[in-house]
Amino acid sequence: MNARDRRYRSEYVHGNTVRKHEERSRRDDRRLRSIKGGRQAGRQRGRKNILQLLSMAAALTITALALYNYVSVQTKLEASTTRASRLEKELAVLRQENDEAYSRANSHIDLEEVKRVAIQELGMKYAEEGQIITYSDEGAADYVRQLAQIPDAGK
């Protein structure tokens, strides 16, 4: 007898007598339950593996979205910083050009010539005492609006 034959016989023969039908069916029931239990355990392991895979995929997706958002914000920030520095340089150039133009305009004005033309050609003269009328600025405006005739100071 070889090993296979012995194993086959050991399932059904105990000693020199054959087991009763009940003993055999109980043993077969236990074996079937263990096989079914193994299948259920395998299914449960399969479900666990699928759940783990899905949770890892969700975590990876969330991480990828967060990384994309971070890179997007960094890119926008860098673009804004570059634009701000370019605008600051442009402002500095414009201020310098404005100051140079103002200096050129002031250097060409001869205040003594303006005074001479005003007094001699236009008949203007300096204000005398009592000719200056001051008004209170009731509002916080930088200008005065004339709503009526200004009274003659000489009267």
Confidence at residue 16, expressed as pLDDT on a 0 to 100 scale: 58
Q: Which of 86, 66, 62 is closest to 74 using CA atoms?
A: 66
108: pLDDT confidence band, cut at 50, 70 and 90? confident
Confidence at residue 132, expressed as pLDDT on a 0 to 100 scale: 79
Query: How many domains, the chain?
Result: 1
**Digit-coded pLDDT (tens) for 23-57:** 556 666 666 666 655 566 666 777 788 889 999 99
- Does residue 97 form part of some domain? yes
Confidence at residue 129, expressed as pLDDT on a 0 to 100 scale: 83
The residues facing 18 across adjacent strands are: 13
- Does residue 151 form part of some domain? no
- Does residue 94 form part of some domain? yes
What average pLDDT score do residues 132-145 get? 70
Give me the domain span that covers residue 25.
3-121
**Digit-coded pLDDT (tens) for 53-83:** 999 999 999 999 999 999 999 999 999 999 9
Q: Where are the alpha helices (DSSP H) in the chain?
A: 3-12, 21-107, 111-116
Q: Which of 59, 143, 108, 55 is closest to 47 using CA atoms?
A: 55
Contact 28, 12 (CB under 8 A): no
- Does residue 8 form part of some domain? yes
Contact 35, 28 (CB under 8 A): no
- The 3-state DSSP class for residue 119 equals helix
- Does residue 39 form part of some domain? yes
- Give the phi and the psi of residue 132 in degrees, each rounded to 5: -90, 120
- Does residue 153 form part of some domain? no
Confidence at residue 65, expressed as pLDDT on a 0 to 100 scale: 97
What average pLDDT score do residues 123-150 get? 76
- Does residue 21 form part of some domain? yes
